[in-house]
Amino acid sequence: NVGKGDLCDRTRTSQQLLSRLNTNFDFFKLLDSVTIARSRKHIEKYYDMEKIGKFPTRLKPITHRSDITELKDFISIADLYQELSKLNLCTYSSMNYILASKVQFYSDLYDTKTHQGSSFKQAHREKSLQTLMRVNLLKRLESSVDSFRITLEKLVNRIERNINNIDNFEKNGTKSYADEAHLNDINLDVESDDWLDTEFSIGDKIKINLADMNTSGWKIDLQEDYAIANALLNEIK
């Protein structure tokens, strides 16, 4: 029975512990009976290698780097990564295209206040989402080409929907709510949905009126992403 008070800090060492443990029983016999995984060094030190036999020579690992497919003239992983790196993924960052006069309104609407009093901005969430989606595409490729194709196809469809939304807004936006009145002239209570024209808005949980956005700039970036993503999708198909 080893009490903590029996030893001072200077003498409370691993060697002293083993010495006291072995006074009443064979500690290594106990260790041998309960230990499941043992390292090579542990076995070589405490077991008779002449009786149990030596370990085989450990060979150096051989690294195999395979291409996506054995098909000729197919895009390489390196080229695929370069193309994915060109994506703006602006379909996930609509907050970046809000007009300067409307930034504060949407900030008040969607930014989250923490218990410490600081603010977690929706724009920062979208920036994180862009990074996650880029990583997700690579992870899906790691899983399988088909998984990558499905995820890429969803991205292309999402971009296409946003471009179509902008096209519809540019054709019919003269009758939208934002064109009839400025947000400063109406009730800006964030509890009210009066500010939002359902027909000309984008997003699922986060709704942004297209009249409050730089739609021309966003459309250009969306079209760039669409060209890259759709070309990759056609290559994968």
In a domain, 66, yes or no: no
Q: Is the pLDDT of residue 96 over 80?
A: yes
**Whole domain around residue 12: which residue ranges?**
8-52
* Average pLDDT value for residue range 165-191: 51
Q: What is the Cα Rg of the chain in Å?
A: 32
Least confident stretch, 2-11, 26-35, 204-213: 2-11
In a domain, 3, yes or no: no
In a domain, 72, yes or no: no
Q: Is the pLDDT of residue 112 over 90?
A: no
Number of separate domains in the chain = 2
- Give yes or no: residues 45 and 111 share one domain: no
Instruction: Give the Cα separation of 219 and 206 in Å (integer).
Output: 19
- Give yes or no: residues 20 and 121 share one domain: no
- Give yes or no: residues 47 and 82 share one domain: no
- Provide the token pair at 9: 């800090």
Q: Tell me the per-residue pLDDT of 151-174, one tens digit each, with 9 for 90 and over.
A: 999 999 999 998 988 888 888 864
In a domain, 154, yes or no: yes
In a domain, 223, yes or no: yes
In a domain, 58, yes or no: no
CB proximity list for 219: less than 8 A, separation 6 or greater: 163, 166
Band of pLDDT at residue 23, cut at 50, 70 and 90: low
- Give yes or no: residues 111 and 156 share one domain: yes
- Give yes or no: residues 37 and 112 share one domain: no
In a domain, 153, yes or no: yes
* Average pLDDT value for residue range 178-182: 28
145 close to 69: Cβ distance less than 8 angstroms: yes
Q: Is the pLDDT of residue 190 over 80?
A: no
pLDDT of 196 reads 41
In a domain, 64, yes or no: no
Percent of the chain with pLDDT over 90: 15
- Give yes or no: residues 20 and 98 share one domain: no
Instruction: Give the Cα separation of 90 and 166 in Å (integer).
Output: 14
Instruction: Give the Cα separation of 134 and 132 in Å (integer).
Output: 5
Band of pLDDT at residue 206, cut at 50, 70 and 90: confident
Q: Tell me the per-residue pLDDT of 46-70, one tens digit each, with 9 for 90 and over.
A: 888 888 888 888 889 998 777 667 7
Full-model pTM: 0.59
Q: What are phi and psi of 112, to 5 degrees?
A: -105, 130
pLDDT of 5 reads 53
